[in-house]
Amino acid sequence: MTSTIPDWGTSFRLTAAEKWKAKSATMGRDVTEAVVACADPQPNMRVLDLASGTGEPAITIAKRIAPTGHVTALDLSTDLLAIAAERARQHGLTNFTTQQADAHQLPFPDEQFDLATSRFGVMFFADIQRALSELRRVLKPGARACFAVWGSKDQPYFASTIGVVHRHVGGPFLQANGPDPFRFSRPGSLSAALSQGGFSNVHEETRTVPWNWPGPPEEAWEQQRAIATPFLPMFNRVPPGAWPKINDEVHAAVRRHEKNGAIEFGATIVLGSGRK
């Protein structure tokens, strides 16, 4: 069982994570802030960030609770965590550590953490109930978990990019039984998973926040193609000769959201929280 997909550690994704780390951080800033506001981290807390990737919201939380609190960023990919560690070092954070591990089998004793977070991670857990059970085990009594997941695929970021590809090739949008970014987009599904996992005081809300790429359409699409692991089966159905036309159509669709030198997509997300 894995908490993310092995393909997400490929050289293409790692190269994109390094190349676009500053602009990606800018793009994701408002989602990160939404998770942090939901989590409400406090001084002296020990925080676990699941499927942390290149380090958000872990780094933002570590800044907020320094110097007395501590954040552990956990992910399957040591390469992505290396980027997170370097980002933390550049911010001068001494209360931030990384841990390579599977969310389904956490390498911590019982009741170690005061708070858990995850941004765009939990929808990819192979066995969500096993992962939530492990999370409850390592949380202290009364500790909270706060997650952000994608809302509907019918929003500008996906419609103007992945949606264009799908119109050309048809077939399934996502691979059957494969990773699904929209697994918890249906209202109530994330809160139902949390309740089934034994969490109380469960709350869920759908929210639209800024999701702006600080660059031209061509960059936005290049970055998304590089990290869009769940959509690789669809990409692989595209005949090589069709990519130039598809890319032109994507650039035109993305350009409709361009304002003041940035692409203003907006992101519809679902925030879910619960207490042990």
> pLDDT band for position 177 (50/70/90)?
confident
> Please, what are the domains in the chain?
6-275 (3.40.50.150)
Total-model pTM = 0.92
Give 31's contacts (C-beta < 8 A, 6+ positions apart): 119, 120, 148, 209, 211, 267, 269
pLDDT at 248 exceeding the cut of 60: yes
Bridge partners, 272 (sequence order):
147, 204
The pLDDT assigned to 2 comes to: 34
Indicate the average pLDDT of the chain: 92
Strands 70-75 and 96-100: parallel
